[in-house]
Amino acid sequence: MSILTVETRPFDNQKPGTSGLRKKVPHFQQPNYAENFIQAIFDAADVPEGGTLVVGGDGRFFNREVVGTVIRMAAANGFGRVVVGRDGLLSTPAASNLIRQRKAAGGIILSASHNPGGPDGDFGIKYNVANGGPAPEGVTERIYARTRDLSQYRISDAQAPDLSQPGTTRIEAMDVEIVDPVADYAALMETLFDFDAIRAAIAGGLTLRFDAMHAITGPYATEILERRLGAPAGSVVNAVPLEDFGGGHPDPNVVWAAPLVDHLRSANAPAFGAASDGDGDRNMILGKGIVVTPSDSLAILAANAHLAKGYAGGISGIARSMPTSQAADRVAAKLKIGMFETPTGWKFFGNLLDAGKVTICGEESSGTGSDHVREKDGLWAVLLWLNILAVRGMGVADIVHEHWKTYGRNYYQRHDYEEVDKKAAEDLMDSLRGRLASMAGQRFGTLVVSEADDFSYKDPVDGSVSTGQGVRIIFSGGSRIVFRLSGTGTKGATLRVYLERFEANPDKHGLPVEEALKELIDTADAIGEIRKRTGRSEPDVRT
C-alpha cells in the first residue's frame, strides 16, 4: 500500500449549488472529476489530523465507486477513521446523525436527492461539517476556490474494502468501519417518539402506506414502521433501493408519487400515507383523500410537537425558508416563540439550531426537521405525524381542517418551469430586479403591491449576509408572489414561482387551490412576463 500524488487540472464547473455539486453521471465519470472535488473538500475543510469522516449515499448509480474513491482519498489525506454505511448506503439524515454521534470532523454524502438516477441520471457530492449539517457558504466558497487552482490529489493505491461486511479494516493508517446504516438512526427515533403509543394505534386499526420510491428509505422504513411499530408487511412499498430508482424520479410530490396519491383517494385508502425522496430527507404526508401541503405540515407539526416525548417541553422557535408559506408564523405567534425566515436551503438553519433559537424547521419543498440532526428528515416527519395521530385519535384531514379553523388557511402553490433557456430565465429575474423600486403602489386586478424586494438575509448568529435570494412581491392583505431560480437543477434553468394567499374565513377554506390563487397566478405572469420570456404557457410541475 502506498499513497499516490496524482497530477490533475482544475475543472471550471465545480461550484457547489443549493445542496452540493450536482451533475449528470457521465460528467462525474470524467477522469479526475470526482477526485478533484473530493480533494478540494479535504483541502478546504481543515480536517484535524486523525479525524473521523462519515461516508455514504443514497445508493444511486455510481454511488459505490465514489464511496470507494472517498475512502482511498481519506486514507491519503490524514483521516484516522472513516465510518461507512454498509453497501455504501446512508440516508442524508442518518449520515447527519452519525457525524454527530461519532463526533466526526465531517461527512461526504453522495446524492442528487430527488433527481433521477442511472447511467444518464444525476449524481452529487455534498460535504457536511461537524455539527452534521451541510457546509455553510463560507466553506462551500472555499471548496469552490480550491477546485479552481488544484493541481494534485492524493489517493491510496489500496483496493477499496468490500462494503458488504460490517466490521473494521484498515487502509494505510486509517480504520474503515462499516456500520449498519439503519441501527443508530432507528435508536434516535425511539428517543424522540412514543413508539408504544404508535404501535398501539397501529394495532388498533391505524392503517398506513409508505412509498419508499425505490430509494434509500426502504430499509429504514421497513425496520421502523414494519418491524418496530408493527405495521403489516407490505405497508412499505417500493422498499428495495435501486440504482435508477426503477426509472422514476424519487421525488415525493403529486406528480412523481401519483400512485400513492391515487391509492389514498381510492375506496380502500389507508388512514395515513407518506413518501420520501432519493436520499430520505424529504417527506410527503397524506391522509384518506387529502394531500397535506408541506407548508401546512410544518405549521401543524410545530403546533402539535409537544405531544411527542422528545418535544414535550415545547419548542424554542420555528424557522422556514423565505418562499415557504407563512402558516408556521401564525403558530409561532400563538406559542409566543421565535420565528425566522431564511434563504432557501437547509444550510441556513444550522446556526439557528446550534444556537437553540429554533427546534423545528421546514421548507415548502417537502422538507421538515428538528434539532435532532442538522438535515431535514423524511421519516422523522412521518413518525411525528404518526405520534400526533396516535395521541389525538383523529384522522389527518380532521387535524388539517381544525388547524385552518384555528389559524386561518394559507392557500399556497409552487409553479416550476423546468429546463428553461438559462439566459431567458436570468433576464426574467434581472428585469424583475430592475423594476423592484417602482413596483410599490402598482395595481393588478384587485391586488395592490405594498412591498417588493430581493430577499437578503443576515444570519442572527454569525452576522453573515446572503443577498439575491429571491424576488418577493407582497400585496396589501399579505398575499405574496416569489420568483427565484433553482440552485439544484442540472440542465438549463428552473424558474420557481411561489404563490400564497391568506384566508381567515373558515367558510372559504374549501376552495380548490388553483381557484383560490387564480388572480395571483395571472398576476405572476403579468409581472414576471413568464410567457413572453420563456415561451411557456403552463408550468411543468405544480406542487
Is 91 one of the binding residues for ligand G1P (CB under 6 A)? Answer: no
* Angle ∠(518,434,136) on CA atoms, nearest 5: 85
Q: Under 8 Å CB-to-CB from 452, ≥6 apart: which residues? A: 435, 436, 439, 440, 471, 472, 473, 474
Is 365 one of the binding residues for ligand G1P (CB under 6 A)? Answer: yes
Partner that binds at residue 387, options ligand G1P, Zn ion, none, CB closer than 5 to 8 Å by kind:
none
* Least distance to ligand G1P, CB of residue 355, Å: 20
Q: Give, as ranges, the residues between 19 and 58 that touch ligand G1P (CB under 6 A).
A: 19
Is 96 one of the binding residues for ligand G1P (CB under 6 A)? Answer: no
Annotation says 113 is catalytic: yes
* Least distance to Zn ion, CB of residue 470, Å: 20
**Contact region for ligand G1P (CB under 6 A) — 118-126, 343-351, 391-399, 423-431?**
343-351
Four-point Cα dihedral 132, 138, 143, 147, nearest 10: 160
Q: Are 287 and 272 in contact (CB under 8 A)?
A: yes
Is 539 one of the binding residues for ligand G1P (CB under 6 A)? Answer: no
Is 321 one of the binding residues for ligand G1P (CB under 6 A)? Answer: yes
Residues that bind Zn ion (CB under 5 A): 113, 277, 279, 281-282
Partner that binds at residue 304, options ligand G1P, Zn ion, none, CB closer than 5 to 8 Å by kind:
none
Q: Which of 344, 479, 523, 534 binds ligand G1P (CB under 6 A)?
A: 344
CA 468 to chain centre: 21
Smaller CB separation from ligand G1P, 39 or 494: 494
Smaller CB separation from Zn ion, 95 or 339: 95
Is 488 one of the binding residues for ligand G1P (CB under 6 A)? Answer: yes
Spell out where 28-121 has E strands. Answer: 52-57, 81-89, 106-110
Check residue 325 and report its DSSP letter.
-
CA 444 to CA 3: how far, in whole Å?
A: 65
Check residue 506 and report its DSSP letter.
G
* Least distance to ligand G1P, CB of residue 393, Å: 33
* Angle ∠(383,97,119) on CA atoms, nearest 5: 90
Is 378 one of the binding residues for ligand G1P (CB under 6 A)? Answer: no
* Least distance to ligand G1P, CB of residue 478, Å: 22
Q: Are 59 and 89 in contact (CB under 8 A)?
A: yes
Partner that binds at residue 345, options ligand G1P, Zn ion, none, CB closer than 5 to 8 Å by kind:
ligand G1P
Check residue 200 and report its DSSP letter.
H
* Least distance to Zn ion, CB of residue 410, Å: 24
H or E segment to which residue 33 belongs: helix 33-44
Contact letters (x/-) for ligand G1P, 446-485, by CB under 6 A?
----------------------------------------
Smaller CB separation from ligand G1P, 273 or 367: 367
- 144-162: b or e for each residue (b if 16 or more CB lie within 10 Å)? bebbeebeebbbbebebbe
Q: Which of 214, 249, 403, 496 binds ligand G1P (CB under 6 A)?
A: 496
Three-class SS of residue 411? strand
* Least distance to ligand G1P, CB of residue 16, Å: 12
Smaller CB separation from Zn ion, 134 or 317: 134
Is 136 one of the binding residues for ligand G1P (CB under 6 A)? Answer: no
H or E segment to which residue 433 belongs: helix 422-435
* Least distance to ligand G1P, CB of residue 159, Å: 34
Partner that binds at residue 279, options ligand G1P, Zn ion, none, CB closer than 5 to 8 Å by kind:
Zn ion
Q: Are 152 and 8 in contact (CB under 8 A)?
A: yes
Is 486 one of the binding residues for ligand G1P (CB under 6 A)? Answer: yes
C-alpha cell at 355: 444556537
Q: Are 482 and 498 in contact (CB under 8 A)?
A: yes
Q: Which of 113, 304, 413, 523 binds ligand G1P (CB under 6 A)?
A: 113
Smaller CB separation from ligand G1P, 35 or 122: 122
Selecting among 19, 91, 111, 113, the annotated active-site residue is 113
**Contact region for ligand G1P (CB under 6 A) — 49-57, 342-350, 426-434, 522-530?**
342-350
Q: Are 534 and 420 in contact (CB under 8 A)?
A: yes
- 187-221: b or e for each residue (b if 16 or more CB lie within 10 Å)? ebbeebbbbebbbebbeeebebbbbbbbbbbbbbb
C-alpha cell at 516: 383560490
Q: Which of 8, 18, 442, 450 binds ligand G1P (CB under 6 A)?
A: 18
CB atoms < 10 A from the CB of 425, how many?
Answer: 23
**Contact region for ligand G1P (CB under 6 A) — 42-50, 157-165, 339-347, 468-476?**
339-347
Catalytic (active-site) positions: 113
- Name the residues that contact ligand G1P, by CB under 6 A: 18-19, 113, 321, 344-346, 363, 365, 367, 486-488, 496
